[in-house]
Every structure is written in C-alpha cells, then in structure tokens.
Amino acid sequence: MYKASTLQELESLEQLDRLIEGCLNGNRQAQNDLYKLLVPKMFMVCLRYSNNRNDAEEILQEGFIRVFEFLHQYKFSGSFEGWVRKIMVNCALQKFRSKSNMHAVVDIEAIAVEQKSSEDIIAHLGTKELLRMVQQLSPGYRTIFNLYVLEGMKHREIAEQLGISEGTSKSNLSDARAILQRAVNASMKSAKQNVNEI
Amino acid sequence: MSKDLHNIDDLFKKAFEEHEELPSDQVWENIDKSLDKRKVVSIAKKYNKLKWAATVLLLFSVGMAMYTLHIHNKNNELVKQNNTESKFKSKRSETTNTLKDDSNLTTMNNAIIAKESPENRLDNKQNVADQKNIKTGKTPLIEKNKINNISAIKREVGEGQLSNTVNKQPKTESHVPSNKIKNSVQDKVDTKLEAIKEERKSSQMPGKFKIQLIETGDNKTTSEDKKSLENLNQESDLPEEKYLNKVPFIVMQGELTESGNIEPFSPILKMDLVANVPLKNGVSNNTTAISKTIHLSKGKTSSFSLTAFFSPDFVSSDLKNDQPRFREDDRNKFEQEESFKFSSTVGLLVDYGIAKRWKLESGITYSTRVTDIQPKTIYARPDNNGNINYRFNCSAGYSFVTLDAAPPPVSGDSIMTLPSTNTLHYIGVPLVIKYVFTNGRFSLVPGLGIAANFLTQGKLQTSIATSTGNKTSTSNNIEGLKSTYFNGSASMGAQYKLNNSVEFTFVPTMRFALSSINRNAPVKTNESSFGLAGGVMVNF
C-alpha cells in the first residue's frame, strides 16, 4: 500500500521511485496515489493555459493519461514533477494549436503603473483574481506569457514550439504584459474604492 | 516601463508558484476508465511473454534431453569398450600358447572377436565357410613380424602410401608367411597392422583395403571406396552376415591423416584394430568378424559444417488493433492498403553434431522486408512532444511527415500521399535443432527452432503532391517498431552430398511469430513467412 504524503517528502525519501514502479506494474492504487500527489499543482498549470475550468480539466485528463502511458520512458533522473509538468504543458499547447489565434490585435493604452510590491497586490487581489486575469487573455497572449514568464522559455524556443517568428513571440508577450498590468491596476483601484466606501 | 514589466512577471510568478487547485472527481474517473482499456492490452502482452518463455523452456529442455542422451550413449560405448578390453585381457592367458601357423592365428582371432561381440556374432555357417577357405589356402594370412607399439606402425606406414598402394593392388590370392607365436592380443593387433604393410608391399594381398573413417578427408581414396563405406555405415543395423558380403576392407578405429599416418582415436580403441571382411566375389575369404569397430564408427559425421544460403520469402502478417486513438488507426485499412513487395533472407549458419543424427544449428541471418502502401490520406496529429505534424500510419508503426515549405498543420488537417514504401531490415540469430535421415547421398533434415531478430533499419518513404511538385519524405524512425522480436521456425530440409566436403541444401522453412514486431502503435503486427532457402554446406 502506498501512503501519499507531500511530493517533496516522497522524493526525499526515494519513495517516489517505488510509486512509479507500482504504476508501471499496473497497480491502480499506485496510479491513484500518484495522481493525488500531482494533481493540485498540475491542475494549476492547466488552469493557466486555459480560459475556464472545463478546458483545464480536459487538458489535465489527457495529460495524466499520457503520463501513465509514457511512464516507462521516464529515466528516473531529474525531477519527476518537472517531467509531468512538461507533459501537461504539451497537452495544453496541443489544445491551444487547435484553437490557435496567434495574431490577435489588441489596442494597448499607455498605462501609468502604481508602484506596489507583489506581496501587497497578491494580498489585495488574491491568486484567483490574478489567475482570472491570465485566463482572460487571448489564447496566443496567454500561451506566450505562460511559456516565457512561468516556464522560463526563450523566445526562440517559443517560436519553434508554436511555429511563429521570434518577433511575434516578443510582441505578443509585450502586449500580454501590458494587458495584465492594466488589469491589475484596474483591480487595485476597484479594491481601494471598495475600502474607502466602507 | 521595463521595471514595471518585470514587476508584472514577478507578481504572477509568485502568485502561481505556491497556489494549488483541485479539479472535480470526474477527471480521475475518466482517467480510470481510460486506464482500464489499456489494461486489457497489457494482459495480452503478459500472455505473449509467457508464450515466449514457454517456447524457450521447451527448446531448452529438448536440447538438454538430447545432450543427456548423447552423453549416455557415449558412456555406454566406453563401457562396452572397457568390457571388451578386459575380456581381451582375460583371453590373454588363453592365447599364450603358440600359434603355429596362419590358420591357427586367424581362427583364434575369429573366436576371440566373435565372443567379444555378442551383437555382432557370426553365425555358425559363416564360420564354417571361413574355416574351409582357410584350409584351401584362400585366406590372406597375417605377417608374423611383431611390432611392439602402434607408433612403430605409424612410422612404417609412411606418407600417402597406404591408400594409394591399396587401391592399386590386384585382386589376386595371396600367401602370407607363417607367424611366430604371439602371447598377447596387443601383439596380434600389432602384427595384423604389420601384415597389412607387408602385404601391401608385396602386392600379394587380395582385394582392396581401406582404413575406416575415409570420410575424414582422405583425398586419396576412390569414390567407389567412399561409397562402399557410406553404404556400409548406413546399413549398420542389418545383420552381420550382410556386412560380410560387402566391400573388403580393414576396419580400424582411427584416422588416416593426410600425411598417411594412422592416428588411433584412444588407447582403448587400439585394442580393436582389426577385422577383415571377405571380398564380395569371394576372392578373399579371411572372415574375421567385423565386431564392434564398425558399430562404433558408423554414423560418425562431421562435427561442424557451415552453410551459406539465400531465401526468397513469402510474408503474411496478422494485424490486431492495439492502441487506436484516431479514426485512421484501424487494422482493416492497413490490410487494404498494404501488400508485401519483396522479402528475402540471406545468412551463414553453423551446424554442430550433438548426437549421431542430431544437429544444433545457429548463425546469423539478414532479412529484408519491403511493403508497398497505396495512396492514402494522412492526418495531422500530436507527436509525443506535443508538436503537430502529419502522422503516417502503417502496419509496422507510425512516422511523422514534415513539409518544410508548408505552414504548420493544425490537429485534424489532412493531406493525400502518393504510393509509399515501408522497408524493414533485421539481423537474426536462429537456434535450430535438426534430425538427419540419410539415404545414400540424399538426406532429409527436419528442424525446429527459434530466432531473435534485431532491427537494423526501419524506413518509411512517401511522396506528397504539392503545388510545386511531388515532395518525397523519408523517415528512418518508425515509432512503435520494436528493436527485437522473436519467431519460431519449422523446416524440412533436403541435402545432396556432392562429396565428403560439400553438400547442396534446399530448406523450405515456415517462420511464425512468437512476438509482434511493434508495440504502442495503432495495430499490433505478427509476421509469418515461408522461405525457400537454397545454399551450399561445407563440412569440416
């Protein structure tokens, strides 16, 4: 029987390998435990790449099926979480390609940014509000923003992955940032007004 | 602005890093259902492994049984030889009396050997006839000179003398001087060998004499001699009387080397050096029993032989749906679209005789399979890295086709291909156990075995018609193709012996799949083939 604890604990105790081997042997309990361990973080990844929960769940489902299908290809070296995350991102990109609209043109106004720390903004708005902002971006902007900012990919790599030019990737990222900045400011203003009214 | 943008990046990074969300329970239920479907496949795979393991175990058991039988037979022969030797020794005391003339010596030999070999016992009539012949002076008599050891004989026989001289000897009656008294069987043996030498020198010995084991590569013997010896060896199960009417020769448990020296096989066998057989035409009538010497040496074949062969193959494949994920992944489509164009196997095989009629064969083969694929529609699908490309499916597996000049396809896009070709190359290592039925120069050799086949190349070549002309795409990476697969084989070979060294072989072989050639592909393919292998075998 596999006892699920935190992923870090499992990795440090080298129990993760046994859990993976259990999955490779077709042990359903091991597969369920592995799913439970990974799903909170992986679902967050899927949410970032989609604009609603249903789409995110579809990506998550396809991603985990692939994880179990290609688990034998995992070399037991490097971060297992990173390997699973990559599969989730690839599934998200696959979904994105089928609904691709990479060249959406959005008017970006010059935005005056109020200087506040990240912690303050997160405290004021909450992660769910920030997630909603990302989800409201167009698929192209959202994907490039995720790949560049959150996955740490270079524009050249993004261009290769998505089949676009580096210039397009850069301009899309710039637009995405500007939209998000404006959205954050708007939310902050709204939050302040609410506080003042109270 | 740059700083602001950096702040935005940092803001979202920090917000999302530690945040976790849980999906609905429906997600796991769907995954669970999907895994159930795949489990059916994995059970089938498990049985395949069991089948393979059972086959290996069976062949190993058969091989071990044959080896044990071979060792057992050999031990029995050695025990018999030892018994014979001990009996000879016991007879020594009885034969210490003087043998006053050649007739006496021959008669004594007959008596001794007949007693020592119950299974080869001469019947009384034959013995009586022998005695008559001896009395009438027709018996070739044994030279009396005593040679104390076998090596002395070897020196005296000399290079190339024996066979050449023997074959040239006229079939005339002879007279051999009387012998001195011998007081041991060993002495008699030595004496007889010396007698051969003397008779050869004087050309007085009637008939031809041969050293047994002609087939060991003595080029000096005539084809007639060889044929006679072959026939004799093959008919060893007949009653001894029939032996005695065969060719005249002296049986010797040894080997005539190319230099003409006699090399006895073992110290034990030195005791069984002699046995004369009468000529068929009755000229020679020295009728010492053949005894065990023939029995022991008959059927002794070359330990090793090398066969080079080429085999055109007729291939058929059995397709089963394995992991169909898309509408085009159906086995019926592959069966309709594909046909084998060319298939062949070449190889070099080594046979090793593990028992009298049993051989073990292994070696190396190189096989080629070329499959024609009709024009078909292929669809853009995600690869394992999530990239979208046109996926070309075939019964061996699938490959992704990239069109450089065209815009990247979206999942579900389709394109039409022109006729395509799938080529597979394997190096195989077979292990076959064979049984040899021999009749004259012809042999029938049924065999049963297994082979491991290692993929050396899997190539998929297709062409796509575009507005700028046909574009050919070649992929040397067929996804799903296994690097190794196993097959069993059943064969019924025919061999024609051209001479002692060379044989022609024709081996119709049925090969059947023990494992599929692919996995994790839309279909699982099990290949069977029927090959007509023709080749040349060289015996060593």
Q: Can you tell me whether residue B413 is helix, strand or coil?
A: coil
DSSP string, A62-121: HHHHHHHHSGGG--S-S-HHHHHHHHHHHHHHHHHHHT--TT--------PPP---HHHH
Sign of CA dihedral B350, B356, B357, B360: negative
Query: Could you give the CA distance from residue A143 to residue B387 in angstroms, rounded to a whole number?
Result: 15
C-beta atoms surrounding B278 within 10 Å: 25
Which of A60, A127, A161 lies closest to B19 in CB terms? A127
**Whole-number Å distance between alpha carbons of B288 and B192:** 12
Residue in B closest to A158 by C-alpha: B387
Contacts of B24 in chain A (CB under 8 A): 57
Give yes or no for B34 touching A (CB within 8 A): yes
Q: Are the C-beta atoms of B157 and B261 separated by less than 8 Å?
A: yes
Residues of B in contact with A185 (CB under 8 A): none
Contact flag A40-B20 (C-beta cutoff 8 Å): yes
Measured between alpha carbons, how far is A80 from A10 in angstroms, rounded to an integer? Answer: 11
Residue B13, CB half-sphere, CA atoms under 13 Å: how many?
A: 13
B-proximal residues of A, 49-108, CB under 8 Å: 53, 56-57, 60-61, 64-65, 68-70, 87, 89-91, 93-94, 97-98, 100
Q: Which of B110-114, B166-170, B523-527 has the highest mean pLDDT?
A: B523-527
pLDDT at B30: 86
User: Quick one: DSSP state of residue A26?
Assistant: T
Contact at 8 Å (CB) between B388 and B411?
A: yes
B42 touches chain A (CB under 8 A): yes
Ranges A194-198, B28-32, B307-311, B431-435: which has the least confidence: A194-198
User: Which residues face B351 on adjacent strands?
Assistant: B305, B361
Asked if B16 lies within 8 A of A150 by C-beta distance, the reply is yes
A100 neighbors B410 (Cβ within 8 angstroms)? yes
The partner residue sitting opposite B13, judged by closest CB among A26, A149, A163, is: A149
Per-residue model confidence (pLDDT) at position B227: 59
Cβ–Cβ under 8 Å, residues B187 and B271? no
Structural contact between residues B422 and B460, judged by C-beta atoms closer than 8 angstroms? yes
pLDDT in tens, A144-194: 999 998 888 889 888 888 878 889 999 999 999 889 888 888 887 777 676
Is A35 in Cβ contact with B31 (below 8 Å)?
yes
With CA atoms as reference, the chain B residue closest to A101 would be B410
Residue B152 has pLDDT above 60, yes or no: no
B199-203, B523-527, B535-539: the lowest-pLDDT one: B199-203
What pLDDT does B329 receive? Answer: 75
Residues 126 through 155 of chain A touching chain B, CB cutoff 8 Å: 127, 130-131, 134, 145, 149-150
Residue A1 sits at the chain B interface (C-beta within 8 Å): no
| Mean pLDDT score, B52-79 | 81
ipTM of the complex: 0.78
* Alpha-carbon distances of B529 from B315, B450, B514, rounded to whole Å: 4, 13, 12
Q: Which residue would you say has higher pLDDT here, B265 or A56? A: A56
Q: What is the DSSP string of B40-90?
A: HHHHHHHHHHHHHHHHHHHHHHHHHHHHHHHHHHHHHHHHHHHHHHHHHHH
Count chain A–chain B contacts defined by CB atoms under 8 A. Answer: 112
CA-nearest residue to A133 within chain B is B12
Give the closest-approach CA distance of B411 to chain A in angstroms: 6
| Pick from B122, B114, B209: nearest CA to B163 | B209
Q: How far apart are CA B103 and CA B94, in angstroms?
A: 17
What value does the mean pLDDT of chain B take?
67
Residues of chain B contacting A40 with CB distance shorter than 8 Å: 20-22
pTM above 0.80, yes or no: no
H or E segment at B513?
Answer: strand B502-513
**pLDDT(B297) > 80:** no
pLDDT tens-place string over residues A77-129 = 778 888 898 889 888 888 777 665 444 444 444 344 445 555 666 665 678 88
Element (H, E) at B321: strand B304-321
Contacts of B45 in chain A (CB under 8 A): none
**Which one of A93, A142, A149 would you mutate to disrupt binding with B, by most B Cβ within 10 Å of its Cβ?**
A149
| Cβ contact A131–B411 (<8 Å) | no
Which of A26, A90, A163 is facing B386, going by the closest CB pair?
A90
